[in-house]
Amino acid sequence: MTLGQRMREARRRAGETNDGVFAGEMGITVATLWAWEADIEEPTQEQLARFAELVGEDAAAFAGAVASEMPQGICRAIDLVPDREQAEVLEEVGLPPELHASAEAWIAFLRLARAAARMSPEAISTLAENAEACVIDAGRTRA
């Protein structure tokens, strides 16, 4: 079970089913809570401690989950950027260079792809529609 799954389950066991209220008690946005529970983002140790306190569970159990899920070895973010040959393949399948030119953009894209793999087609459609609406709104505010 991933950290996000453990967090979601602990919150359910504690009866903390209102995402907005719980996120407010955590001092985070609902989007951040959802990102943690979908394993898109990871909370800090301090946030995990607060989470454990709110759900009435041992903080060490969550801290151990983070440590046990950490990959072995060390890699630099630049090592994650596709090399020239890989970049050509990505562009051939329709991924623009903006998605893989920087380590940060590539990592964000990979996290999104991982999360999308666990989503239903309907949830992906809703997410895409919401993203398009945000882009349109952002364009209006710049004009």
Residues in Cβ contact with 16 at an 8 Å cutoff, skipping those fewer than 6 apart: 22, 54, 55
Q: According to the model, what pLDDT value does residue 76 have? A: 56
Q: Are 109 and 82 in contact (CB under 8 A)?
A: no
Q: What is the fold, at CATH topology level, of the domain defined by 3-69? A: 434 Repressor (Amino-terminal Domain) (1.10.260)
Q: Over the stretch 82-95, which tens digit does the pLDDT of each residue have?
A: 778 888 887 888 87
Sequence spans of domains, the chain: 3-69, 77-142
DSSP the chain: --HHHHHHHHHHHTT---HHHHHHHHTS-HHHHHHHHTTSS---HHHHHHHHHHHT--HHHHHHHHHHHSPSS---GGGGS--HHHHHHHHHTT--GGGTSSHHHHHHHHHHHHHHHTS-HHHHHHHHHHHHHHHHHHHHHH-
Q: According to the model, what pLDDT value does residue 50 have? A: 92
Mind listing the pLDDT tens digit of every residue in the chain (143 residues)? 788 888 999 999 999 999 999 999 999 999 889 988 888 888 888 899 899 999 998 877 776 554 444 454 555 555 667 778 888 887 888 878 887 777 777 777 777 777 777 878 887 788 778 777 776 655 565 55
Q: Over the stretch 43-70, which tens digit does the pLDDT of each residue have?
A: 888 899 899 999 998 877 776 554 444 4
Q: According to the model, what pLDDT value does residue 137 have? A: 59
